[in-house]
Amino acid sequence: MNKKRMTSKELAKLAGVSSATISRAFSPDSRIGDATRERILAVAREHGYQPNAIARSLNNQRSRLVALVVNAIGNPCEAEEQQLLVHRLQARQLLPIILCCADHDDRLQLMRLASTYQVDHVVVFSDMVSMQDAVDIFRTTKPIIVSFEPLEHKSVSNIRIDGSAAADEIVDKIVKDGKKRFAYMTGTNSSWIDKLRRQWFSEALAKRGLKFEASAFGDYTYDSGFKESVMLIHRDKVDAIICGNDVMAIGARDAARRVLGKTTPTDIAIVGQDGIAMAAWDCNDLTTLSLDHVAFIDAVMELIERHEEDLEGPHSITLTCTARWGSTA
């Protein structure tokens, strides 16, 4: 059967010291003789002892756990950032706990559960939970929330994303190509991030005396992009579709090409958002409003580090998007 884990007291007996000295041997800067430390670490290695992080967390008031609130794991538009962030956290000996909102009926209860684990930080990637809810739930614990929602809140650090310049650039090119009837395909009907993105393009259109002639409501998936764009092209006769993310844009491109026999960018312009790696694949070659993932995660880590060092007050960082050109617009 599985052996029980050894405690510091047991190891203390084996090494002929007190359990306090064991603890000191594992704390980098504490008053302990070099010889004693060496001996203890040797005995510990021999018996496979390692301090219990749960007990340490209880005492320290620091769990070294980080809650990542995400929509889904499989979704490519978030996955690249998640991967980068997890990597960076691990490098700092922080362990990520994933909270997956997508198909969990009670997201708030899920966050409450995570909050009982005394996580040190919370990163909210998901736009399915409101910042206010996150603040309420994690209010009692030390963490700050790294959120992208552009709402001001006194105890929340956040990252602003500005894509208006890139959207303007993209619209400019499409209009110069002679397109006139634009449509916007959203990923969720209630998401503030989707609203924000739409707004960048709306403003770029308005500047040129244009507006969105039609809208479609997808769910960020390839299938929804495929299906909705058939409607947009067939019924609304649009010749430019701005999609809420890259995956829907790929679906839209496939629909335009395969079902309706259109080619991009000649007959129709299709634009994605996110700038995922897959968008640059030869078979996709998508024009997309892209955010530099590395810069993004750098910003998140910057906020986390500030919080680790107990620098007071909420901080805010703004990032700008760029246009990434493919053959679809």
Cβ partners under 8 Å of residue 300, min gap 6: 85, 123, 146, 159
Does 55 bind a copy of itself (CB under 8 A)? Our answer is yes
Does 14 bind a copy of itself (CB under 8 A)? Our answer is no
Structure tokens at 215: 């809208």
Residue 186: beta bridge partners?
217
Which of a copy of itself, DNA, none does 142 bind, CB closer than 5 to 8 A by kind? a copy of itself
Closest of 233, 235, 240 to residue 176, by C-alpha: 240
State the helix-helix crossing angle for 107-115 and 131-138, rounded to 10 degrees.
30
Among 19, 23, 36, 57, binds a copy of itself (CB under 8 A): 57
Which residues in 65-94 contact a copy of itself (CB under 8 A)? Answer: 65, 72-74, 76, 79-80, 82-83, 86-87, 90-91, 93
- Judged by DSSP in three states, 161 sits in strand
Does 99 bind a copy of itself (CB under 8 A)? Our answer is yes
Minimum distance, C-beta of residue 119 to DNA, in the bound complex (Å): 14
Closest of 157, 181, 179 to residue 301, by C-alpha: 157
Check the CA dihedral 134-139-141-146 and report its sign: positive
Which residues in 21-40 contact a copy of itself (CB under 8 A)? Answer: none
> Closer CB to a copy of itself, residue 255 or residue 289?
255
Minimum distance, C-beta of residue 36 to DNA, in the bound complex (Å): 3
Does 250 bind a copy of itself (CB under 8 A)? Our answer is yes
Tell me how far apart the alpha carbons of residues 256 and 250 are, in angstroms, rounded to a whole number: 10
Among 31, 211, 235, 282, binds a copy of itself (CB under 8 A): 282
Minimum distance, C-beta of residue 186 to a copy of itself, in the bound complex (Å): 21
> Closer CB to a copy of itself, residue 95 or residue 317?
95
Closest of 210, 289, 176, 207 to residue 243, by C-alpha: 289
Tell me how far apart the alpha carbons of residues 21 and 38 are, in angstroms, rounded to a whole number: 12
DSSP characters for 198-221? Answer: HHHHHHHHHHTT--EEEEEE--SS
DSSP characters for 287-308? Answer: EEEE--HHHHHHHHHHHHHHHH
Which of DNA, a copy of itself, none does 72 bind, CB closer than 5 to 8 A by kind? a copy of itself
Minimum distance, C-beta of residue 54 to DNA, in the bound complex (Å): 7
Give all strands (DSSP E) within the chain, no chain letters. Answer: 65-70, 95-100, 121-124, 145-147, 157-162, 182-186, 212-217, 240-243, 269-274, 287-290, 316-320, 322-324
Minimum distance, C-beta of residue 155 to a copy of itself, in the bound complex (Å): 7
> Closer CB to DNA, residue 57 or residue 322?
57
Minimum distance, C-beta of residue 196 to a copy of itself, in the bound complex (Å): 24
Tell me how far apart the alpha carbons of residues 323 and 5 are, in angstroms, rounded to a whole number: 54
Minimum distance, C-beta of residue 194 to a copy of itself, in the bound complex (Å): 21
Minimum distance, C-beta of residue 133 to DNA, in the bound complex (Å): 22
Binding site for DNA (CB under 7 A): 4-9, 16-24, 26-27, 30-37, 49, 51-52, 55-56, 58-61
Tell me which residue has tokens 């009926």: 105
Residues in touch with a copy of itself (CB under 8 A): 2-6, 48, 50-55, 57-58, 63, 65, 72-74, 76, 79-80, 82-83, 86-87, 90-91, 93, 95-100, 102-104, 110, 112-118, 139-142, 155, 222, 226, 250-251, 253-255, 258, 277-278, 281-284
